[in-house]
Structure 1
Amino acid sequence: TIMLNITGGGTKLYKETHEMHILEPSVILPVEASDDEIVEAAVELFG
């Protein structure tokens, strides 16, 4: 699973209806990461 950190609408409702699990990301890429860097990180994670 690739988790995107997207904030905003629906967070309050989601928390009211779901159990929250706070996770630490396996990889954090900078906004300016190239396509190749993103693919390389995904391959390292998922094989």
Structure 2
Amino acid sequence: VETRFEADPDGTLMTMTITYASAEQREAAVASGMEDGMAFSYDTLEKALASA
């Protein structure tokens, strides 16, 4: 997992890159709903930080 933070005119841009050992492992992670769960978590965090 690589996470980068960059300055952005609207705040901070975070980019996360996850590298899997195989396409099968990646597909299993996607099929598990991990992508939707992470998106929900980061959206929730963004809203919490905006209101702080």
TM-score, normalized by the shorter chain, greater than 0.5: no
Under a length normalisation based on structure 2, what TM-score does the superposition of the two structures give? 0.28
Bigger fraction of residues in helix: 2
Bigger fraction of residues in strand: 2
Greater length-normalized contact order (CA 8 Å, ≥ 6 residues apart) = 1
